[in-house]
Amino acid sequence: MESLAEEVARVWAVMEARMPTGPGGLNPPATEEQIQTAERAVGHRFPEEIRASYLLHDGGYLPSSDEHPEWGPPIEILPLHRIAELHEGLLSCRDTWCDHQDGDEDCGCEWNQRNGDPVRQGNSWYPGWLPLHDGGDSSYRAVDLVPLRGGRVGQVICVDCGPPTQVEFGSFLDLLRAWSS
């Protein structure tokens, strides 16, 4: 059976075959030290599939898929230094968040009104979200490192100023699989 790191490497190999490396393509690998520095900056350990991915490529540009024209122009997976910078900048927009779980019926926050959504809702950035893609229009794809009950650590969410925050992929590996198809 294939390990998680091997599966991440296999999916990246599919993408690498379709694209150039270097400027406008994929970045060289990150080091373990760079990953640990980024983890300290955001205050959370990254899921293993993200660590494995960054040990292969410290982000870079992925071509959009013909099967998913809604993805628009090439998609940038942020390099580690940009993740830390963006996370810090987005926290400056932070509202007060309710960290409740199921059963906190009296808090009155928007999440309870949505009744069971596994992603926090609000008008700003939550500290447990790891930005991986900046859509350039106040929308981001992020990994949820502290999901609500019913969610999954590592789920990829779409955070936008318009529609509610929602789970887009079950994991970062699922996102890579979709982008490699």
Q: Considering the domain 4-180 in this protein, what is its CATH number? A: 3.40.1580.10
pTM of the model: 0.78
Q: Where does the pLDDT of residue 129 fall: very low under 50, low under 70, confident under 90, or very high at 90 and above?
A: confident
The DSSP string of 66-111 is TT-GGG-SPEEEPPHHHHHHHHHHHHTT--------TT-TTS--HH
The predicted structure's pLDDT at residue 93:
61
- Per residue in 40-66, pLDDT (tens digit) is 999 999 999 999 999 999 998 776 655
Q: Which DSSP state fits 161?
A: S
pLDDT in tens, 162-181: 566 788 899 999 988 887 77
Using alpha carbons, list the distances in angstroms from residue 70 to 65, 66, 73, 75: 9, 9, 9, 11
Please report, for the chain, the start and end positions of each structural domain, with discontinuous segments joined by +.
4-180
